[in-house]
């Protein structure tokens, strides 16, 4: 039996997957042999770009801080011609709070 999803359900599923992919990209970057970037990162970036074109960008507040601090989030969107403006003062504040908490 084949179940047909509505357009809304597909968008919700794609957005959920897109949010997960940002976490996967952060993990891939952390696990890169050189500590910066890897083929695995390229793969996840391609998937992020494909879904972003379909459903729009992910709000910066749902992105791992590392990807905001190192500019990867901004670069990926710039590559797509999408303007994003994370509040970098707030990002730094959250980062500082997290470092003080540890």
- Give the model's pLDDT for residue 91: 95
Six-digit token pair at 80? 């797509």
According to the 3-state scheme, what is the secondary structure of the chain? CCCCCCHHHHHHHHHHHHHHHHHHHHHHHHHCCCCCCCHHHHHHHHHHHHHHHHHCCCCHHHCCHHHHHCCHHHHHHHHHCCCCCCCHHHHHHHHHHHHHHC
- Give the model's pLDDT for residue 1: 66
pLDDT tens digits for 45-99? 999 999 999 999 999 999 999 999 999 999 999 999 999 999 999 999 999 998 8
pLDDT tens digits for 34-50? 989 999 999 999 999 99
């Amino acid at each position: 039996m084949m179940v047909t999803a509505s357009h809304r359900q597909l968008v919700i599923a794609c957005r959920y997957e897109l949010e997960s992919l940002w976490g996967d990209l952060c993990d891939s970057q952390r696990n890169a042999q050189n500590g910066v970037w890897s083929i695995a990162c390229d793969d996840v970036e391609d998937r992020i770009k494909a879904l972003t074109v379909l459903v729009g960008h992910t709000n910066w507040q749902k992105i791992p801080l590392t990807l905001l601090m190192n500019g990867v989030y901004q670069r990926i969107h710039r590559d797509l011609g999408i303007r994003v403006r994370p509040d970098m003062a707030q990002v730094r504040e959250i980062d500082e709070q997290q470092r003080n908490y540890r």
